[in-house]
A and B are shown apart, each in its own frame.
Chain A
Amino acid sequence: MSKILLHGTEAICEGAIRNGCRAFFGYPITPQNEVPEYMSVKMPQIGGVFVQAESEVAAINMVYGAAGAGIRAMTSSSSPGVSLKQEGISYIACARIPCVIVNIMRAGPGLGGIQPAQGDYFQATKGGGHGDYHLIVLAPSSVQEACDYTYRAFDLADRYRVPAMILADGMIGQLMEPVELPPMRDLKEIPEKDWATSGHYGAARRVLNSLIIQPDELEPHVNEMQRTYEEIYRNERRAVEYCTEDAEIVLTAYGTVARIVKSAVNELRKQGVKAGCVRPITLYPFPDDTYAACAARPNTKAFLSVELSLGQMVEDVKLAVNGKKPVYFYGRTGGNVPEESEIVAAAKKALAQAEAEK
């Protein structure tokens, strides 16, 4: 199959549609408006449902309903809009309904700005709403991955009955790159959901609920969710390593920043600095095994986490490295994106600092 040129937002839509998404509920917010725009055209063409809801809160609750009935459903928004959805996401997580939520991050806090940022890492990976729950969080760093990971997110969500989130930044949304689209999946191939409230028809009654008022009923329910997260942790951690085998400084970043970091690693190597990088694909579960393996290598002297935030993922990197090697941080915020030269300088500084502290 040949490649076509697509925007990141369009690639997300195609990834969803081609893996059976037949319901989309959204509300406009920059920089993800191209997602509902594209879905509003495509959904009616393939027999799906598109609703521009009256608010983000309504949209996520429509996802709750549609996905609860067994349909593959999705919503998308950007940072402030995703904050509004958190109550609904917590309910969906408790009711164990698989769905996909897309967050094309913009700069916060508050209404913030509309340029790319990664300040929602904590919100996405640590729960976001109230209560003990997690989402499966995937971070694409190219337009091809925006399509592929959205496709995969539906399968992961269904398999574990856990909502999945695509965490991308504004740049991935706007970027155009060649994409090879996966074939359209036959809806009959998608495994049947024996829990879905898809009609009574004389069969046993099915209930999806997030109100479990008896402590002795809620505790085992939450424990069961926890066991699922442990299973996800065991099976689904993914990361990509680049030039880490002999690296003295291991940089790490996700999303668009990982691309700039890769350029910085190439430049550092050109200047004779042994640099490498780790790019997590799954932000939850966090690929701590990859970091631990890098930390165990005698040649690794330090880590540097580069983010469009003031230091969020770096906390997970520190937990994974577990004090074996120093972990440093470089970040930009407010919608500014670091240049390759800034990252090169930060990496050299981190390496010098690690050697001085030894």
Chain B
Amino acid sequence: MIKILLAGQGGQGVLSIGQMLAESGLREGKEVSYLPAYGPEMRGGTANCSVIISEEEIASPLCNTPDVLIALNSPSFHKFAPRVKPGGIIIVNGSISDSYAGRDDLSVYDVLANDLAIEAGNVRAANMVAMGALFALTQLVKERSILNCLQERFVGKAAVYETNVRAFRAGVGAVAK
């Protein structure tokens, strides 16, 4: 069972990649849950969601102590880094955040998500850079499942799809070194 907390600024697409992750897991026959934090939130505010992917039945859908944290901005990195399980993974958007978590019992991957997304064609694909890094580090779902979900999301928008695939591969490359 892997618990992932995805957090960032409203509009960065953390809920989108969270949902895509759950959808990918479902297609591989795994048990999944996706729980968005809801509140009086808006573009520019904070957004986060919890995704669990498991081989067995999922009891609690909460991720109070996630195995993996994806933080797309600085406030969410500092808010959630203390909660990550010892031995866990943090993927932080190094383009707009520092990466000092103040603990040495986990791995922090500083991924320049915004820069790599701009190189791929659009800064809005920064979420897919993080998704690529998550995939490369955990292999928790297959690449094909993620790309299939992405393709369905951008039906009739081939250019947007291609940009997102480039961003995804840049994310894979960023942590492969």
Tell me, yes or no, whether A binds B. Answer: yes
Give the residues in chain A near B33, CB-CB below 8 Å: 175-177
Tell yes or no: A181 within 8 A of B by CB.
no
The reply to whether B26 and A3 form a contact with Cβ atoms under 8 Å apart is: yes
The reply to whether A114 and B61 form a contact with Cβ atoms under 8 Å apart is: no
Tell yes or no: B19 within 8 A of A by CB.
yes
Known: A263-B59, A339-B64. A177 touches B36 (CB 8 A): no
The reply to whether A171 and B23 form a contact with Cβ atoms under 8 Å apart is: no
Which of A43-51, A153-161, A213-221, A254-262 contacts the other chain? A254-262
Q: Mark B26-60, 1 if CB is under 8 A from A, else 0.
A: 10000111111011100000000000000000111
**Residue from A3, A177, A256, A262 within 8 A of B34 (CB atoms):** A177
**Residue from B23, B26, B35, B40 within 8 A of A174 (CB atoms):** B35
**Residue from A5, A114, A170, A337 within 8 A of B62 (CB atoms):** A337
Tell yes or no: A241 within 8 A of B by CB.
no
Tell yes or no: B22 within 8 A of A by CB.
yes
Tell yes or no: A266 within 8 A of B by CB.
yes
Report A147-187 residues with CB < 8 Å from chain B CB: 170-171, 174-178
CA distance A130 to B177 in the complex (A): 69
The reply to whether A177 and B32 form a contact with Cβ atoms under 8 Å apart is: yes
Tell yes or no: A88 within 8 A of B by CB.
no
The reply to whether A262 and B61 form a contact with Cβ atoms under 8 Å apart is: no
Tell yes or no: A31 within 8 A of B by CB.
yes
Residue in chain B with minimal CB distance to A170: B38
Give the residues in chain B near A245, CB-CB below 8 Å: none
- A33 → chain B, closest Cβ, in Å? 10
Residue in chain B with minimal CB distance to A4: B26
Report A3-30 residues with CB < 8 Å from chain B CB: 3-5, 30
Residue in chain B with minimal CB distance to A242: B59
The reply to whether A176 and B60 form a contact with Cβ atoms under 8 Å apart is: no
- B22 → chain A, closest Cβ, in Å? 6
The reply to whether A259 and B59 form a contact with Cβ atoms under 8 Å apart is: yes
The reply to whether B35 and A5 form a contact with Cβ atoms under 8 Å apart is: no
Residue in chain B with minimal CB distance to A339: B64
CA distance A22 to B19 in the complex (A): 30
Known: A259-B60, A340-B60. A5 touches B32 (CB 8 A): yes
**Residue from A114, A115, A263 within 8 A of B60 (CB atoms):** A263
The reply to whether A171 and B32 form a contact with Cβ atoms under 8 Å apart is: no
The reply to whether A171 and B34 form a contact with Cβ atoms under 8 Å apart is: no
- B16 → chain A, closest Cβ, in Å? 12
CA distance A170 to B35 in the complex (A): 11
Residue in chain A with minimal CB distance to B50: A175
The reply to whether A171 and B35 form a contact with Cβ atoms under 8 Å apart is: yes
Give the residues in chain B near A174, CB-CB below 8 Å: 35-36, 38
CA distance A259 to B40 in the complex (A): 26
Q: Mark B1-33, 1 if CB is under 8 A from A, else 0.
A: 000000000000000000100110010000111
Give the residues in chain B near A170, CB-CB below 8 Å: 38
- A346 → chain B, closest Cβ, in Å? 15
The reply to whether A262 and B22 form a contact with Cβ atoms under 8 Å apart is: no
Give the residues in chain B near A3, CB-CB below 8 Å: 26
**Residue from B32, B39, B59 within 8 A of A260 (CB atoms):** B59
Known: A5-B22, A114-B39, A339-B64. A266 touches B34 (CB 8 A): no
- B47 → chain A, closest Cβ, in Å? 13
- B127 → chain A, closest Cβ, in Å? 17
Give the residues in chain B near A260, CB-CB below 8 Å: 59-60, 62
User: Closest 10 A-B residue pairs measured CB to CB?
Assistant: A176-B34, A263-B60, A263-B59, A262-B59, A260-B60, A339-B64, A259-B60, A178-B26, A175-B35, A177-B33
